[in-house]
Structure formats: structure tokens, C-alpha cells
Structure 1
Amino acid sequence: MIKLISDLPEGVVAAVASGEVSGKDYETVLVPAMENAINTHGSVRFLYHLGPEFKRYSPSAMWDDLKLGFAHFTAWKKLALVTDHEWMAGAARMFAIALPCPVKVFPNARYEEAMRWISEK
């Protein structure tokens, strides 16, 4: 499941993933929010929180994640991943070199710091 975090600065999208994230979560929650931010501001700053309740991605969610990233490749302004899941943190660090924006990975204990960083223009 993906839930959006509200009351954020313009151009920032933040979401919390818990349990199993499905393709439907991407299609009905995350993709519309991202596309709205990009259409409105021309770019997006994105914080993704994979907290302790996060279990896994379905194969369709992994596919939708990849499609979302490439469909708007030049619109990424900043990306913050907040997680204690080392496999996700490692993957984010590995792919960060291929992304056109700054990417930072934060542990759950530094969530507030991540939120401040992603909110800065």
C-alpha cells in the first residue's frame, strides 16, 4: 500500500509504503500525484519512505516503478529514500549515479532530516 503525505511544499511529492506495494498502488496513487506535480511545476522532488511495515513489491509494482522513472526521466529534481531496508538503500545508491538529480538515502531515524532536505529548492 502507498499513502501520500500531505501538507508539503509545492513540487514535492512524498509517500509512505507499507505491506506489499502493488501495481495498482502505483497506478491509482503514486503516478497521478507525480504527474500532477510534473505538469504543474515542470519537475518533482520525491521522498519515498519504506518504513518498518514495508514488506515487498509485487512484480507489477516493480515494473510500474521502472516505467515511472523513465517516463519522466528529466523531471526529477531531487530524490530521497528513507528506509532501514538495506537491500533498498543499496539499490538506490547503486542507481543514483544514473539519475539526473541528487539522490540521498536516509535511515528511518533521520526521517525529519530527509523531509527538510527534500523540501529545500
Structure 2
Amino acid sequence: MIKLMPELPSHVVGFVASGQITAEDYESVVIPAVEAALKTHDKIRLLYHIGPEWTGFTAGAMWDDAKVGLSHMTAWEKVAVVTDVEWIRAGVKFFGFTITGVVKIFVRRRLGWWGKAMTWS
């Protein structure tokens, strides 16, 4: 399941992933939120928190994730991914070059839930 983080600035889209993430999660939560933010901002910031309750992505979810990232490659001002999952951190590092904005990875266990490093000033 993916939930939209409430009360973020309009140019920041934040998600919390837990359990199994499916294509339906992307189609009902992620894609509409990104598209809505892009209607009012040329560049947006993404905060994606993969919590300890996360169990995995379906193939459809991984495909939708790639489509969202690639279809809006120049729209990402900053991207922050918070996770303790090593293969996700490695994937973000490997594919981060495709995004024109700043991409940072944060290790959740080092930050706690909302560390100072997570502020979006």
C-alpha cells in the first residue's frame, strides 16, 4: 500500500510505502498526485519513504515506477528516498543519473522517522 503524506507544500509530493506495492497503488495514488503537482509547478520534489512494514513491489508496480520517473525526467527538482533496503538504495544510485534534479538516499534507521535531514527548505 502507498499512502500520500499529508500537509506537505504543494511542490512536494510524499509517499509512504508499506506492505506489498502494486500497480494499482501507483495508478490510484502516485500517478494522480504527481500529475496534480505538475499542473501547478514546473518542477516538483519527491519524498518516498519505504518503511519497515514494506514487503515488496509487484512487477506492475516496478514498471509503473519506471514510467513515472522516466515520463517526467526533467520535472524532478529533488528526489529523496528513505529506506533501509539495500537493493533499493543501489537501484536509486544506479538509475539516479536519469533524473535531472538532485537525488539523495537516506537510511531510515539513521534518521528515525523524521530527521532534520528530511526538511525541505
- Percent identity between matched residues is 45
**Equivalent pair of 2:79/2:102 in contact (CA under 8 Å):** yes
Measured against aligned partners, the alpha-carbon deviations of 1:3-35 in whole angstroms (never above 9, x if no partner) come to 011111220000000011000000000100011
Q: Is 1:41 the equivalent of 2:41?
A: yes
1:89 is aligned to 89
| 3-state secondary structure, aligned to 2:100 | coil
Q: 1:114 to 1:63 in 2, by over 3 A?
A: farther
Amino acid at match of 1:49: H
Length, aligned pairs only:
118
Q: 1: CA distance between counterparts of 2:67 and 2:33?
A: 15
Where in structure 2 are there 5+ consecutive unaligned residues? none
Counterpart Cα distance in 2 of 1:114 and 1:11: 18
> Contact 1:45/1:78 (CA < 8 Å) preserved in 2?
yes
Q: CA RMSD in A?
A: 1.1
Name the counterpart of 1:73: 73
Other-structure match for 1:64: 64
1:87-119 Cα shifts (integer Å, max 9, x gaps): 101111111122211010001132423430xx2
Unaligned runs of 5+ in 1: none
Alpha-carbon separation, structure 1, partners of 2:6 and 2:118: 12
> Does the 8 A contact of 2:73 with 2:98 survive in 1?
no
Map of 2:118 onto structure 1: 115
1:62-97 CA-to-partner distances (Å, cap 9, x unmatched) read 110111111111111100000000110111111112
Q: Which runs of 4+ in 1 moved over 4 A?
A: none
Amino acid at match of 1:72: H
Q: Aligned to 1:96, what secondary structure does the other structure show?
A: helix
Q: Report the Cα distance in structure 1 between the residues aligned to 2:12 and 2:91, rounded to whole angstroms.
A: 22
Match in the other structure for 2:105: 105
Task: Say yes or no: does 1:28 pair with 2:28.
Answer: yes
